Amino acid sequence: MNPPSPSLPAGVSRRQFLRHTALLAASAATAPMFLPSGVLAANGQPGANGRIGVGFIGIGRQASGLLEQLLKLPEARFLAVADVNLNRAKEAGAKHGAKPFQDYRRLLELKEVDAVVTATPDHWRGPICIHTCQAGKDLYVEKPLSLTIREGRLFVEAARKYQRVFQVGSQQRSNWVDQAACELVRSGGLGKVQQVYGPNYPSPWEGALPAQPIPDGLDWEMWCGPFATVPYNKDLYLPRANPGWLSFRPYSGGEMTGWGAHGLDMIQAALGMDASGPVEVWTEGPKFAPPTYTQAESKDRGDKLCNVPKVFFRYANGLVMELADSLPKPVFENNKVPGGGGVFVCDKGTFKIDRGSCESEPEEIALDLRKKRPRGFDENHLKNWLDCVKSRAKPNADVEIGHRSATVCHLGNIARWTGRRLKWDPVKEIFPDDKEANEHLDRKRRKAWELPEKV
């Protein structure tokens, strides 16, 4: 199948448009994931004292919040925006003097764009991240980093090959309390970690929502992108609606990856696993039985059905992490496992890490830690990325970190999908001698959007 035909973007003549669409059609027979001429190997590295030209790919709910942050930072200039909903791109462009496009590949052609922020649905991560690296532009990519484990490794390879600064939007990595709390556990300040409890996130389920009229200006074929075109429905198009794409398996890993990219990321950091991960994953409890939503409905039923069976992980040192709704024994006033962190049972006490906060039993441990907060600590995750774009240092949530944390989330989903105990090799990133499990390392895409074997 040929790549989707883009609508004529602003600033592109009809002759240029026809030349590009002809090249797009030809490319489908020769190479997947075509990138327009003039983009490959572009120099997207601003000077140390220059303002960074930033483009946005996707300008929905999450990206709009990031744009508000970016506009307050003197280090950057908002220059261009691409969205499959052209009206939304035009609105953001007109408001802030940025060039609007419907096809993100046109944005990547702009030499004045040094870096890209993207917050599209998860199923678009693969093409966008690889193309942006190839275009020589740095990236800020919303969490979760990837739709699949194989995607994530390709992103790391692309970032390294093209020497890109690649920040994942796990903002807690720039929060002082989260940093200090993870360091306390990681450094042995609480003694040996005996047990870890992570949040029990639901996996995604299936969707077959009825067709609705496609809104004017929305390229629905392009929205579906790497996967089969399905009927438009607003409760698929929006991220969190009734229920929204974030709950459906073709487009997301569900809350296991959506929220897991926060909570399980903190556990990875506290265990010193930023370059590794567990060696075994399994489930206990009833067989995974996801529903298929055929009408608009809240997430409640799907979340309840898809947070069982319970998931367990084992690390190489024997430590076990259990995903649970609450602790087996009362420890804290709120005995729930926090959605943005985890609970660590250690020799010297029990320690809870959440989003920008921590709690302990005995309570003096957390109280003493919070007293050490330095004055003037900058927790702006987006600014950390921009600073690194200039310095070429690795950001707080580098692509390898984001990949490893997302991998833990994907492993949890795969354990539920297979329903059996799985060995995992965090070096080779495969399930040894397990063909069925390894088939879940990636997902089949339409020919025009297949991922390369190597970047």
In this structure, is residue 188 part of a structural domain?
Answer: yes
Q: What is the model's pLDDT at position 149?
A: 98
Three-class SS of residue 438?
A: helix
Tokens of 90: 């035009």
Q: Residue 232 and residue 212: Cα distance in Å, rounded?
A: 6
Please tell me the total count of domains within the chain. Answer: 1
Maximum pairwise Cα distance, the chain: 70
Phi-psi region of 376 (alpha: psi -120 to 50; beta: other; left: phi over 0): left
In this structure, is residue 202 part of a structural domain?
Answer: yes
Q: Residue 144 and residue 150: Cα distance in Å, rounded?
A: 14
Query: Which residues lie below 8 Å from residue 333, measured CB to CB, with a gap of 6+?
Result: none
Cβ contact 258:340 at 8 Å: no
* DSSP structure string for 172-206: GGG-HHHHHHHHHHHTTTT--EEEEEEE-PPPPBE
In this structure, is residue 123 part of a structural domain?
Answer: no
Residue with tokens 């007293």: 371
**How crowded is the C-beta side of 377, counted as CA atoms within 13 Å?**
12
Q: What is the model's pLDDT at position 142?
A: 98
Can you give the residue range of the structural domain that contains 334?
Answer: 174-369+419-428
> pLDDT below 50 — which residues of the chain?
1-31, 37
CATH of the domain at 269: 3.30.360
In this structure, is residue 39 part of a structural domain?
Answer: no
What values do phi and psi take at 206, rounded to 5? -100, 155
Q: What is the model's pLDDT at position 13?
A: 46
User: 292 vs 44, 237, 306, 411, 444, CA distance in Å?
Assistant: 44, 17, 11, 22, 20
In this structure, is residue 18 part of a structural domain?
Answer: no
In this structure, is residue 240 part of a structural domain?
Answer: yes
In this structure, is residue 433 part of a structural domain?
Answer: no
In this structure, is residue 306 part of a structural domain?
Answer: yes
Q: Residue 401 and residue 385: Cα distance in Å, rounded?
A: 14
Angle at 446 between CA 36 and CA 415, to 5 degrees: 120
